[in-house]
Amino acid sequence: MKRFLLAALLLLILSSCGYTMAGLNNEIPVKYYINTVHNDTIDSTIGDIMQLEAERFFLKYNELASYKQATYFMDIIISNLEYINPVLTATDQATSTYIAYNLTIIVTDIDGKEIYTWNTKTSTNFSITSDAGITLQTRDGKLKSNIEDDLTTFRLNISRKVYK
């Protein structure tokens, strides 16, 4: 009887710290396969940036899988790209610009049934310099940061759907 009580007490202490006994975790590991990244914009590099950042993001959380190992399949669509340049009237030059785009992520299960669709409109600003290379690096850095924020929000929202 003492051993049983000791084991129960130990199990209670460990479970309160977040540990679980093998076989008691009912949570299904989520693994995504990125089917496609549709870039419906005029800027071809944005699709490449999205693909690499999405792969990096889900790999960081150990949620990126091969086609055969995936529990869910993801299609990412980028559309409605806009650059908005505020122009300084004194010099007639733009010193910064806003970039905005729509992001849609469609998630399907193994049978191809759509289980979740997520949409957002994202925008960010970045400085324009006389050096086109630096301007593009700044833009790409801002895009990567926004994509990570968007994917974090997506991950939080879909976890509510998957782990009901």
Per-residue tokens: 24? 């008691």
Can you name the CATH fold of 27-162? Double Stranded RNA Binding Domain (3.30.160)
Q: Decide if pLDDT at 35 tops 70.
A: yes
pLDDT-based confidence at residue 87 (cuts at 50, 70, 90): very low
Whether pLDDT at 151 is above 50: yes
Q: For the beta carbon of residue 81, count every other beta carbon within 10 angstroms.
A: 15
Burial bucket for residue 94 (CB in 10 Å: 0-12, 13-18, 19+): middle
Structure confidence at residue 26 (pLDDT): 47
Instruction: Please give the backbone phi and psi of residue 48, each rounded to the nearest 5 degrees, phi first.
Output: -65, -45
Q: Three-state SS for 116?
A: strand
Look at residue 164 in the predicted model and tell me its pLDDT. 54
Enumerate residues 6+ apart whose C-beta is below 8 A from 29: 63, 71
DSSP alpha helix (H) spans, the chain: 2-16, 44-60, 132-162
pLDDT tens profile 38-48: 999 888 888 89
Which residue ranges make up each domain of the chain? 27-162
Q: CA–CA separation, 109 vs 43, rounded Å?
A: 30
90-142 pLDDT tens trace: 455 557 777 888 999 999 999 999 999 999 998 877 777 677 777 778 778 88
Residue 20 has pLDDT above 60, yes or no: no
At residue 12, the pLDDT reads: 64
What b-and-e string marks burial along 19-43, b requiring 16 or more CB atoms within 10 Å of the CB? eeeeeeeeeeebebbbeebebebeb
Q: Is the pLDDT of residue 15 over 80?
A: no
What percent of the chain has a predicted confidence (pLDDT) above 70?
75
CA dist 146 and 155 (Å) reads 14
Tell me the pLDDT band of 30, cut-offs 50, 70 and 90. Answer: confident
